[in-house]
């Protein structure tokens, strides 16, 4: 968009959608930018639904760097302090609000607990300090998590069937398919490990930075999941706008 197109898209009920991911290890078969790819797919699918209902919705360039402490032991992972992430999201919202956007929607695909906490803190600060609406469907919570398949609900879903299917649908050329096909299932639950106080993929049972069943992934499942993610974002925005 040009600046004039951005100006014309703004409004009190206009949604600016920020895809949020991470640069971190995703097994031996997926690229470091996997979460960014998923977040952008969610944002585009959500924006399409919002526009179909007559709303103004723009998709921002993604926020790719964030807190990624669980993957810090793996090469290529780039991790920020959580307070940095909170400050960046708040500053992005302040710029958008100053130009007339009334709602910030977070299309988030990174589930590190420190990162999620930083986004919740940012959302609270935006609502409090900027009087701006924020739609943030946290996929780890009800009702959203219940709609994302058995593997996701099990918590064994980092670089597994769930995420690998989406990358196969969106960027198949980035999937190392021979490596994917050779990977055994890893049923270790990240969500359970987090509850038990584990703080790294290695401690949680992911020695190669993946959990779940990547060899069972399909592009068809990925396309269906993207539509579900888009519907979740659309519904979260609708709920925020009343």
pTM of the model: 0.97
Does residue 97 belong to any structural domain of this protein?
yes
Mean pLDDT on 44-73? 97
Mean pLDDT on 215-225? 98
Instruction: State the chain's mean pLDDT as an integer.
Output: 97
Mean pLDDT on 113-139? 97
Q: Which pLDDT score, from 0 to 100, does residue 67 have? A: 98
d(CA 108, CA 136): 8
Does residue 64 belong to any structural domain of this protein?
yes
Does residue 240 belong to any structural domain of this protein?
no
Does residue 242 belong to any structural domain of this protein?
no
Mean pLDDT on 197-201? 96
The total domain count for the chain is 1
Does residue 241 belong to any structural domain of this protein?
no
Q: Report whether pLDDT(228) > 90.
A: yes
Q: Over the range 9-44, which residues count as b (16 or more CB within 10 Å of their CB) and which as e?
A: bbeeebbbbbbbbbbbbbbebbbbbbbbbbbbbbbb
- Could you tell me if 67 and 57 are in contact, meaning their C-beta atoms sit under 8 angstroms apart? no
Phi and psi torsions of 18, nearest 5°: -105, 110
Q: Which pLDDT score, from 0 to 100, does residue 151 have? A: 97
- Of all residues in the chain, what percent carry a pLDDT higher than 70? 100
Q: Report whether pLDDT(212) > 90.
A: yes
Mean pLDDT on 147-171? 97
- Could you tell me if 135 and 14 are in contact, meaning their C-beta atoms sit under 8 angstroms apart? no
Confidence of residue 242 (pLDDT cuts 50, 70, 90): confident
d(CA 63, CA 216): 29
Does residue 67 belong to any structural domain of this protein?
yes
d(CA 197, CA 170): 34
Question: What is the number of alpha carbons within 13 Å of residue 205 lying toward its C-beta?
Answer: 18
According to DSSP, the residues that pair with 63 across neighbouring strands are 20
Mean pLDDT on 111-136? 97
The residue range of the domain holding 175 is 3-235
State the pairing for strand pair 133-135/57-59: unpaired
CATH number at residue 49: 3.40.50.10310
Mean pLDDT on 92-121? 98
């Amino acid at each position: 968009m040009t600046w004039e197109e951005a100006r014309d898209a703004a409004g009190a009920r206009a949604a600016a959608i920020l895809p949020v991911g991470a640069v971190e290890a995703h097994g031996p078969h997926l690229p470091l930018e996997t979460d960014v790819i998923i977040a952008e797919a969610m944002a585009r699918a959500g924006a399409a639904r919002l526009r179909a209902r007559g709303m103004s919705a723009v998709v921002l360039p993604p926020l790719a760097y964030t807190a990624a402490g669980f993957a810090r032991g793996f090469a290529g992972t780039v991790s920020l302090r959580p307070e940095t992430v909170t400050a960046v999201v708040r500053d992005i919202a302040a710029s958008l609000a100053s130009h007339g956007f009334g709602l910030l929607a977070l299309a988030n695909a990174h589930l590190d607990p420190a990162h999620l906490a930083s986004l919740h803190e940012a959302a609270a600060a935006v609502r409090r300090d900027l009087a701006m609406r924020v739609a943030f469907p946290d996929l780890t919570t009800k009702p959203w998590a219940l709609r994302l398949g058995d593997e996701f609900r099990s918590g064994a879903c980092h670089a597994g069937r769930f995420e690998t299917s989406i990358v196969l649908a969106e960027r198949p050329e980035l999937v190392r398919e021979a490596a994917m096909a050779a990977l055994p299932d890893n049923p270790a639950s990240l969500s359970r490990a987090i509850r038990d106080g584990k703080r790294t993929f290695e401690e949680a049972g992911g020695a190669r930075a993946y959990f779940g069943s990547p060899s069972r992934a399909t592009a068809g499942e990925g396309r269906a999941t993207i539509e579900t993610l888009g519907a979740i974002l659309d519904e979260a925005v609708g709920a925020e706008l009343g």
